Amino acid sequence: MTALWRIVVLWRPQAGWLLAGVAVSLAALAAALLLMAQSGQMVAAAALGAGLAAPLVLRGLGLARIVLRYGERMATHDALFRALAALRVWFFRGLAVRAAGGLGFRRAGDVLSRLVGDIEALDILYIRIVVPLAGALVLLPVLVWWIARSNVWLALVVGVLFALAAFALPLLAARASWRQGGRIAGAFAALRIACLDTLTGLREVRAFGAEGRMLAIVQGREAGLLAAQHEVAGRAALAGAAAFLAGQAALLAVLVALLFQGDAALAGIAFLVVAAFEAAAVLPRVAAAAGHAAQAAGRVLELADAPMPATHTTSVMPSGSAIRFDSVHFAWSPDRPAVFDGLTLDIPQGSRVALLGPSGSGKSTLAALLLKVAHPGAGRILLGGSDIAALDDSAVRARCAWLGQATHLFRDTIRANLLLGAPPGTAVTDDRLWAALAAARIDEVVRALPDGLDGWVGEGGQGFSGGQGRRLALARALLSDAPVLILDEPCAGLDATTEREFHLALNEAAAGRTVVLIAHRLVGVERLDRIWRLSGGRAVAAAG
C-alpha cells in the first residue's frame, strides 16, 4: 500500500478540506448511532409500559442526521474533487518535464488512461476507504465502552466481531485482490489504447479494410477487462457476505444476552450494533477493489520515479544565436537504434535552413534536442558558442519559438490563443497582436469577424480552415520575439495551395530570425540559405 500512502502525502495541500470532510462524516455517524440507540431504548421502554419521554430527542437527532448526512456528501465530495484536480495537475506537470517531446515513447492511450482512468480509480481512496476507516477507528472503542456498561463479555464478543468486519476482512480482501487490481488497471489502459488508435487512425483503417480486425482487438481487450472486473466483483461479494455474517453474529450475541440478562438497555444496544455494522459494511466490499486503486496509484506515481533530465545552469546565456551540432550521437533508448551517429551541422545566426528527410530520419528528434526535451548521448549542441547543456532550460527555450505539425488552438478567444506565445508577464498591446497577425497574413480574416480579436475560436480551431489555423499558430509563435524559429512539419495535412500561401507568409514574417524548417519536401517558394538532408544519422548538404 506504499503507492496509496504516497498519494495521500501528495494531497497534503488539500489536508484542511479532507479533514473537514472526515469531521462532518464522524458527526453524521454519531447522529445516526445516537438515533438508533435512543430508538432502541424507546422500544424497550414501550415494551415495559414506561412513558415515552424522548420524541423531541428523536426528532432532533433525526433532523441532525439528515442535515449532517447531506453536509457529509457535500464536504467529502468537494474535498475529493479538489484533491483529484490537484493530482491531475501534478501528473501533467511531471509528464511535461520528464517525457521527451511531451509523450516520448508513451502511447497516447496509455497516458490518457493514467490521467483519466487511473486517477478516477483513486476516488475510493478517500470517500470509501479513508472516511469509513476513520469512522470505524472511532466507533470501535465507543461501541465496546457503551456495551461494557451493561455486559463486559458481550462487549468483548461484539468488539472482536466488529474488528473482524471492519479491519481483518478488508485487509484480507485487499491482499487477495492485489493481482486482479493490476489486471484491471492494465486492461483499462489496453482498451483505451486500442480505442484511441482506432479512432485516430480511422482513415487508414478504412483505407486498408481493417475495420473488422481493429474491432476484434477492441472487443478482445474489452472482454479481458470484464473478466478482471468479474473476478474482483466476486471477491467483493465474498468479503461483503463475511462482514454481513459477522454483523448477524454480533446481533445474535446481543439477543442471547438480552434473553438471559433481561436488561432493557440491551434493546438499545441491539439497535446500536445494527447501525455500527452497517457503517462498517462498506469496508470489506471496497477493500476488494483496493488492489485496483493501489495499482492505479502505482501507474500514476511511475512518472514521479522516472529520472529527471540532467540540467546544469553554470553559464550565462550568450548574446548570439548561431546553432551548431558537434558530433552528436543520440538514441531514444539503449534498445533502439541510434537516430544520430556523429551528426555535425552548422546553422549561422539569421540564416534560413531546411532539414529534409523521410519519417524516422531524425528531423523531429533534432528539434527535441535543440529544445532540451531530449539530451545527446555524446557530442555537443552549441547556441551562440555555448553548450546548451550548461544553459538554463527555460532560457534556451525562450530563444527558440517552436511551431509543430499538430499545433493546437484552444476553445477561447483569438486574443487568448495569441497571448500564449508572449513571454510570461509581458504586457502585449493590441497593436502588437495585429502586427503579428499581419505578419502571418491572417489579419484580414480576423478583422472581418464581428468581434475581431475577441472572436471565438472553436475547439481545435474548428472555426477556421486548416491554413488559417496554421497562420494563427504562426502569429502566436512570432509574438515570442525568439530569434530562432523552429518549424516542425508546419504544413502537414494542408493542400498544396494552402501550403504555398503559408510559406509565402513565413518568408515575410520571419525576417531577421534564424529559421529551421523541418519537412519531408519543399514546395519551391521558400527563401532558404541552405538545405540539409538527414540520412544515416548524419546531415548531408543538398544545396548551397
Q: How far is CA 10 from the centre of its chain?
A: 14
Mark whether 404 and 259 lie in a shared domain: no
The residue length of the chain stands at: 544
Indicate the residue among 248, 275, 305 that finishes a domain: 305
Mark whether 361 and 242 lie in a shared domain: no
- Within-domain flag for 311: no
* Mean model confidence pLDDT for the chain: 79
Distance CA 267, CA 261 (A): 11
Give the lowest-confidence range in 214-218, 298-302, 342-346, 375-379. 298-302
The domain tally of the chain equals 2
For the sheet containing 352-356, what is the strand order?
400-403, 484-488, 514-519, 352-356, 530-535, 538-543
Indicate the residue among 278, 305, 332 that finishes a domain: 305
- Within-domain flag for 315: no
Angle, vertex CA 357, rays to CA 355 and CA 359, nearest 5: 125
Q: Please give the average per-residue pLDDT across 238-242, as a whole number.
A: 85
Indicate the residue among 277, 305, 333 that finishes a domain: 305
Q: Please give the average per-residue pLDDT across 283-301, as a whole number.
A: 76
Q: At what angle do helices 169-176 and 211-261 cross, to 10 degrees?
A: 160
CATH number of the domain residue 366 falls in:
3.40.50.300
- Within-domain flag for 313: no
Domain that holds residue 130: 2-305
Say if residue 176's pLDDT is above 70. Answer: yes
333-385 per-position pLDDT tens digit = 777 788 888 888 888 888 888 888 777 677 778 888 888 877 888 888 888 88
Mark whether 280 and 329 lie in a shared domain: no
Q: What is the pTM of this model?
A: 0.64
Q: Are 247 and 281 in contact (CB under 8 A)?
A: yes
Mark whether 153 and 79 lie in a shared domain: yes
What is the CB neighbour count within 10 angstroms for residue 92?
13
Mark whether 231 and 123 lie in a shared domain: yes
CATH number of the domain residue 178 falls in:
1.20.1560.10
Query: The C-alpha cell of 270 is what?
Result: 441491539
- Within-domain flag for 318: no
Mark whether 301 and 424 lie in a shared domain: no
The residues that bridge with 516 in the sheet, in sequence order, are 353, 486
446-493 per-position pLDDT tens digit = 888 888 888 888 776 677 777 788 778 878 887 877 888 888 777 766
Say if residue 496's pLDDT is above 80. Answer: no
pLDDT at 347: 87
- Within-domain flag for 317: no
Q: Please give the average per-residue pLDDT across 129-158, as a whole number.
A: 87
Mark whether 460 and 415 lie in a shared domain: yes
Helix (H/G/I), strand (E/B), else coil: 520: coil
Say if residue 109's pLDDT is above 70. Answer: no
Mark whether 501 and 437 lie in a shared domain: yes
pLDDT at 161: 92
Which residue did the predictor score with more confidence, 167 or 361? 167
Query: The C-alpha cell of 411 is what?
Result: 476553445
Say if residue 105's pLDDT is above 50. Answer: no
Distance CA 374, CA 370 (A): 8
Grade residue 309 by pLDDT with cuts at 50, 70 and 90: low
- Within-domain flag for 503: yes
Grade residue 262 by pLDDT with cuts at 50, 70 and 90: low
34-80 per-position pLDDT tens digit = 877 777 667 666 655 555 555 666 677 778 878 888 888 888 889 88
Mark whether 146 and 22 lie in a shared domain: yes
Distance CA 35, CA 42 (A): 11
Distance CA 458, CA 475 (A): 17
Distance CA 443, CA 25 (A): 57
Mark whether 291 and 327 lie in a shared domain: no
* Residues 244-252: contacts with CB under 8 Å, at least 24 apart: 244/281, 246/161, 246/162, 246/164, 246/165, 246/169, 246/277, 247/161, 247/165, 247/273, 247/274, 247/277, 247/278, 247/281, 249/161, 250/157, 250/158, 250/161, 250/162, 250/277, 251/277
Q: How far is CA 400 from the centre of its chain?
A: 28
- Within-domain flag for 166: yes
Mark whether 392 and 464 lie in a shared domain: yes
Mark whether 409 and 287 lie in a shared domain: no
pLDDT at 156: 92
- Within-domain flag for 142: yes
Q: CB burial class (10 A; 0-12, 13-18, 19+) of residue 309?
A: middle
Q: Please give the average per-residue pLDDT across 5-19, as a whole number.
A: 85
Strands 352-356 and 323-330: unpaired
pLDDT at 101: 47
Query: The C-alpha cell of 98 is what?
Result: 520528464
